[in-house]
Structure 1
Amino acid sequence: MTRLTEIAGIAAPLPIENLDTDQIMPKQFLRIIDKAGLSEGLLYDLRFDAEGEPRPDCVLNQVAYRDACILIGGSNFGCGSSREHAVWGLQQFGFEAVIAPSFAEIFYSNAMNNRLLLVQLEREEIDVLLHDVSTHPAARLHIDLDRQTVTVAGGRVFTFPLGARHKQMVIDGMDTIDLTLASLPAIEAFEQAHFERHRWAAVL
């Protein structure tokens, strides 16, 4: 799989606090046995009215943000149920990264396990980004995974935390199973040494 070391593009502002997975991917779009078609359900109630017509005030329906690959959200992004479909829907819609002050723990794990990069910045930094992308929709953000930085229009740089494990998962396109298999020689060596020290366990 191709290594992913940078994400650059237009960012859409969606500063909604506590945006839960039920809103990100409503329940009526979960009646499938695969991942197909989830982009249609992404944030459906925000994007469409009761008659199914697009809401013009929704940022995702605006031409300026049509090609956005980065989403800037509010705190506690992805709270609620553990549905992985929320992550898949964001990716199918075209988002490669979400930037927010904080993320729900299960959503964070689901996202990183599926190579959707989550970037956590301070509230003040998020406010700067929201102002920039709201007043200059065509401005591009640049995320450097190696350096763990976000560069905004004008050259201002913000640094974000990212654990070594999740960093490797996103860059190399690995899930938790891949990570485990990468350590297989060490696991087998430990297993062999363990049974050498405890031969009675092998008999049992």
Structure 2
Amino acid sequence: MLSGRTRVHAAAARLTCPGTIRQWQYKRNQWPRGENTIRACVCGVFTLCFPVSPSPLHSEFIRCSLKMVYESTGKFQLVEGDVDNFDKMMEAVGVSAEKRQKGRTLKPIIEFSHDGDKYKVTGSAEGIPERTKEFVLDVEQEETTIDGRKVKSTYKREAKGLMIQHEVQENGMVVVYHREIKGDQMHVKVTCGDLVANRLYKKM
């Protein structure tokens, strides 16, 4: 029989969830009797192992673990833009030379928030009006980018705070944004065909 602390460490090693956690609430009387393992997640892959009667330590672990996987809020500003590679990508999807030249010097600010399944992203940059968009995971929607392109985007959540956006351009090309929050930084890998740009944002 593993101790409570050992069980917490074992659970932490297997804490993975490639799906979307929409709601997960525990009450003491919901824990099954006579079982040592609880497996619960809307995607069916989230595995936690705890004793039948959770202690305050286990409850805190659950709260922190869900926050680690699910949280993607904050305000971030671009600090490293990989501008040469990003410029090639923007040229490929049809952004004009004038707008690309202006974009090379911008340090955009992006703010993320969410309420349940509804997410909100606000973007701003010097000399460009603030834009706000709202979306629900896994639902395609029309958007207008900060440089004026009309696109269709779909957002998906992956494990460990990773948000993936598929952005379909009017010319049929697809730009994919992999956004991952690590501490006070947001790492953004942008791909379009064989083109790749890595951009770094810092939490404000």
Q: Would you call these one fold, judging by a TM-score over 0.5?
A: no
Pick 1 or 2: higher relative contact order, CA cutoff 8 A, min separation 6: 1
- Structure in which a larger fraction of residues adopt helix: 1
For normalisation by structure 1, the TM-score amounts to 0.21
For normalisation by structure 2, the TM-score amounts to 0.21
- Structure in which a larger fraction of residues adopt strand: 2
